[in-house]
Amino acid sequence: MSNPTTNVHQLNAILNPPFGTFTRVPNVFASNPALKNIDPRFGIAYDPFGDHKTAIRAGFGLFYDPIRARTYASGYYFNPPYALAFVPLPVFPNPFPGALPPPAQLVGVDYHPNHTPHLYQWNFNIQRQLFESTSLTVGYVGTRGLHLYGARDVNPVLPKMVDGVQVFGVPRGTAASPASGIVSNPRLNPAAAAESSEAPVADSNYHSLQVGLNRRFSQGVQAQLSYTWSKCLDDASGTYGLEGGIPWSNPLNGSFDHGRCLFDRPQVFRLSGVYALPFKQNILVKGWQMSGGLAAQSGSPWNVTVGFDQAGNVVAGSERPNLVMPADQIIKGSVTQWANPAGFSLPAPGMFGNLQRDFLAGPGTVNLDYAVMKETPIKEQVRLQFRAEFFNLFNHANFALPNASAFVQTANGGGAPNPTFGKITATTTSSRQIQFALKILF
């Protein structure tokens, strides 16, 4: 991809954040990081016994993710000389009767990226035909993501070293107002505020065992079973703005947030199938089919947080408490209290907790869908189809993540256990839904 530019509006960037001012630049990046993007792919398939019933396959590939406009655009059109304004119920013909708000940097993008985000992917599997229409596949799939886009504050609060430990913030002590909270240390550039920047500084890895049992449609039966046992780790997941993930809680050390991917599901089991009933005596009993799908998977990662700024790094909602109890003793599994609040302690003012990001897991998910269908021919190319479909057949409740804020702030540098911590107040799937359909296929 070429180095983006614009033919209408000027581009401005801070060339050496957090120092300097906005400077006119000809392109989005100082140089094009995509010039060295060469993607090799290798694959092999081997029939070890020569009977065409067993196949051994392996593959490797390097895949680049071009830096698209959704990553860098907001770092330009939200910055000076531009401003973002919302006016409810605007007056015609002048929707902005007053002065526009002063331009302020909302999000930035690294002007000197040295790499394009890329992914190494490899796999190895063995497939064996068990019966005429049934095959079993067992494989290993792995990926390694490098130079992924991550968001962090490039004008961070500078750490204070106490006995060799970085302390982000200094407690005000009892003389300060409780509402003042923690007074942060000076920033790298004391004259500037926080500057969120996205840069290819993050990484990820994924490893999985994948098992599949597949029966092609034969003698009225088609079925598929799949099971995945996996682990996914990264520095940040999800999105912040449009790209880059949630900002690092420690802007100077991305590995501090290394933990489970937001979409990590260690175990996933799925079973689906179609059965065509063999009755063919008359038009009333022939043409019936049953189908269903069962899905069961581990709970999504649950990121327990302090609930307020205790470290003085001013990254709201990202600080985590201390873990003071073995993980296998924390989860209680109740809707009213998913985790034991005694398993966490509040870090000292100006300190980060030791709990890993996304360390705990929320409730798992189980869902069964079922359908009955009858197809009746009317003419050679016209068929009438009746369907009765049952979603979440057993009306199983699949619960959302619990309240993640372990503490509530009570005083300057102090907090108390949050009474609603660990409570679940929502579900992730709907209740049982039943629908009927009548279709004409032609």
With a cut of 60, say whether residue 407 has pLDDT above it.
yes
Q: For residue 180, give the DSSP letter.
A: G
Mean pLDDT of 165-184: 65
Output phi, psi for 330, to 5 deg: -85, -45
pLDDT of 40 strictly over 70? yes
- 423: its two tokens: 């409570």
Tens digit of each residue's pLDDT (9 = 90 or more) over 241-274 = 545 557 788 888 888 999 999 999 999 999 999 9
At 138 the pLDDT is 98
Residue 401: per-residue pLDDT = 96
Task: Determine the distance from the C-alpha atom of residue 51 to the mean position of all C-alpha atoms in its chain, rounded to a whole number.
Answer: 43
- The whole-angstrom separation of Cα 169 and Cα 177 is 16
| Residue 352 near residue 319, CB atoms below 8 Å | yes
Whether the per-residue pLDDT at 205 is higher than 90: the answer is: yes
pLDDT at residue 245, rounded to an integer: 59
How far lies 430's CA from each of 95, 268, 279, in Å?
Answer: 42, 20, 35
User: Poorest-confidence range of 147-151, 170-174, 207-211, 320-324?
Assistant: 170-174
For residue range 339-372, list pLDDT tens digits in order: 999 999 999 888 889 999 999 999 999 999 999 9
* pLDDT band at residue 5 using 50, 70 and 90 as cut-offs: very high
What percent of the chain has pLDDT above 90? 57
**In Å, how far are 136, 211, 216, 224, 292 from 133, measured between CA atoms?**
11, 17, 5, 12, 20
Confidence at residue 108, expressed as pLDDT on a 0 to 100 scale: 79
State what percent of residues in the chain have pLDDT above 70.
Answer: 93
Per-residue confidence (pLDDT) for residue 100, from 0 to 100: 65
- Cα–Cα distance, 409 to 390 (Å, whole number): 47
The predicted model gives 39-52 an average pLDDT of: 95
CA distance 227 to 131: 20
Neighbour count for residue 70 (Cβ, 10 Å):
11
Cα 203 to its chain centre, rounded Å, is: 14
Average predicted confidence (pLDDT) for the chain: 88
- Show the beta-strand stretches assigned E in 112-220: 118-131, 134-153, 160-162, 165-167, 196-218
> What pTM, to 2 d.p., does this model score?
0.86
User: CA 424, CA 335: separation in Å to the nearest integer?
Assistant: 5
Per-domain residue ranges of the chain? 1-154+195-264, 277-442
How does residue 162 score in pLDDT terms, banded at 50, 70 and 90? Answer: confident
Instruction: Indicate the pLDDT class of residue 177, thresholds 50, 70 and 90.
Output: low
The residue ranking higher by pLDDT, 302 or 99, is 302
Please check the confidence at residue 174 and state whether its pLDDT lies above 70: no
pLDDT band per the 50, 70, 90 thresholds, residue 107: low
- pLDDT band at 179; cut points 50, 70, 90: low
Return d(Cα 320, Cα 317) in angstroms, integer: 8
pLDDT tens digit string along 213-243? 999 999 899 999 999 999 999 988 876 554 5
Cis omega (within 30 of 0) for bond into 18: yes
Q: Decide: 364 and 297 in contact? Cβ < 8 Å.
A: yes
Decide if 330 contacts 431 (C-beta within 8 A): no
The pLDDT of residue 160: 79
pLDDT of residue 175: 40
